[in-house]
């Protein structure tokens, strides 16, 4: 008889933030305070998913756009497509490679290795609109720090996934992706296991962390004050991992 992993109900529980996040803020404490106010508490087995925005803000990954001096090249390109040259300049600075630059769209590879528009810089809804919000410098470390802080305060070991929404090749619409992870495996490798008919599975490595990110994207939103959520009831593999496991080796990537 084939081994089957039993499926159980999974709950996505939004965590609301009443407070504005400011640089230096203790995110673990703010989260727990907000949860207490809504009679929520972590349980062993929970996963915490957090939008990068509150992490970036608390870590002070903010740049006053007036302080950015764009190059002549950035200015020319920005003017051609009615873009903000300072944002273009900043996106280039936050990248280690330009992947595509066409029709006013700039797809870069960030220092972390993420492929996304404008190096993931967000200017749409940060205080005043003249401040750019960058991705955290080391999102895996941010996730590990948050996980450790929660463990100190609650005694529980809660895996943490930090997410951002990226556009995708071939498909319309943004989707949420894991950009930092701590305390659980990013991938589930089912190769060599057998399905419920007893047949061996071939190429079944599942991007669990990205699936969790997307699931959280359903309840965490830009339009509500819900920058985080709890994923409760999911079978996951605890352990060390990092977001690089989710990034395809450029050598084997057919679509760069």
* Residue in 126, 162, 134 with CA at minimum distance from that of residue 147: 162
CB of 152: closest distance to a copy of itself in angstroms?
Answer: 27
Two tokens at 65? Answer: 């756009």
Contact with a copy of itself (CB under 8 A) among 67, 124, 152, 192: 124
DSSP letter (8 states) at residue 194: B
Contact with a copy of itself (CB under 8 A) among 137, 196, 237, 240: 196
Count of alpha carbons within 13 Å of 214, Cβ hemisphere only?
9
> C-alpha distances in angstroms, 67 versus 70, 90, 130, 235?
10, 10, 10, 47
Site string for a copy of itself, 234-253 (x = CB under 8 A): x----------xxxx---xx
Helix axis angle, 139-154 to 27-37, nearest 10°: 50
Residue 21, interface with a copy of itself (CB under 8 A)?
A: no
Residue 22, interface with a copy of itself (CB under 8 A)?
A: no
Two tokens at 76? Answer: 């020319």
Stretch that binds a copy of itself, among 31-39, 77-85, 148-156, 225-233 (CB under 8 A): 225-233
Query: Any bridge partners for residue 205, and if so which?
Result: 189
Residue 153, interface with a copy of itself (CB under 8 A)?
A: no
* Residue in 25, 64, 39 with CA at minimum distance from that of residue 146: 25
Contact with a copy of itself (CB under 8 A) among 71, 80, 224, 237: 224
Residue 7, interface with a copy of itself (CB under 8 A)?
A: yes
Q: How far apart are alpha carbons 28 and 156 in whole angstroms? A: 13
Residue 254, interface with a copy of itself (CB under 8 A)?
A: yes
Site string for a copy of itself, 96-115 (x = CB under 8 A): ----x-xx-x-x-------x
CB of 72: closest distance to a copy of itself in angstroms?
Answer: 25
Stretch that binds a copy of itself, among 22-30, 56-64, 142-150, 201-209 (CB under 8 A): 201-209
Two tokens at 108? Answer: 């870069």
Q: Which is nearer to a copy of itself, 69 or 204 (CB)?
A: 204
Q: Which is nearer to a copy of itself, 145 or 241 (CB)?
A: 241
Q: Which is nearer to a copy of itself, 15 or 182 (CB)?
A: 15
Q: How far apart are alpha carbons 63 and 90 in whole angstroms? A: 9
* Residue in 120, 55, 52, 111 with CA at minimum distance from that of residue 247: 111
CB burial of residue 208 (10 Å; 0-12, 13-18, 19+): buried
Site string for a copy of itself, 38-77 (x = CB under 8 A): ----------------------------------------
> Whose structure tokens read 């609301």?
16
Residue 165, interface with a copy of itself (CB under 8 A)?
A: yes
């Amino acid at each position: 008889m084939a081994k089957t992993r039993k499926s159980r109900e999974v709950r996505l529980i939004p965590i609301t933030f009443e407070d504005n996040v400011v640089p230096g803020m203790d995110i673990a404490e703010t989260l727990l305070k907000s949860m207490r106010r809504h009679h929520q508490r972590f349980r062993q087995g929970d996963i915490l998913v957090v939008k990068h925005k509150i992490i970036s803000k608390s870590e002070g990954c903010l740049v006053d756009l007036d302080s950015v001096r764009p190059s002549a090249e950035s200015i020319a390109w920005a003017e051609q497509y009615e873009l903000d040259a300072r944002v273009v300049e900043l996106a280039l600075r936050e990248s280690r490679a330009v992947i595509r630059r066409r029709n006013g769209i700039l797809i870069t590879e960030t220092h972390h290795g993420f492929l996304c528009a404008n190096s993931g810089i967000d200017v749409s809804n940060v205080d005043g609109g003249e401040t750019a919000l960058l991705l955290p410098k080391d999102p895996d470390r941010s996730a590990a720090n948050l996980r450790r802080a929660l463990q100190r305060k609650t005694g529980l070991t809660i895996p943490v996934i930090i997410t951002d929404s990226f556009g995708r090749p071939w498909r319309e619409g943004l989707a949420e992706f894991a950009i930092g992870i701590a305390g659980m495996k990013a991938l589930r490798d089912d190769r060599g296991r057998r399905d419920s008919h007893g047949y061996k599975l071939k190429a079944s490595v599942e991007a669990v962390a990205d699936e969790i990110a997307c699931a959280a994207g359903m309840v965490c939103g830009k339009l509500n004050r819900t920058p985080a959520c709890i994923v409760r009831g999911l079978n996951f593999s605890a352990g060390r991992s990092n977001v690089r496991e989710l990034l395809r080796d450029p050598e084997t990537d057919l679509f760069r």
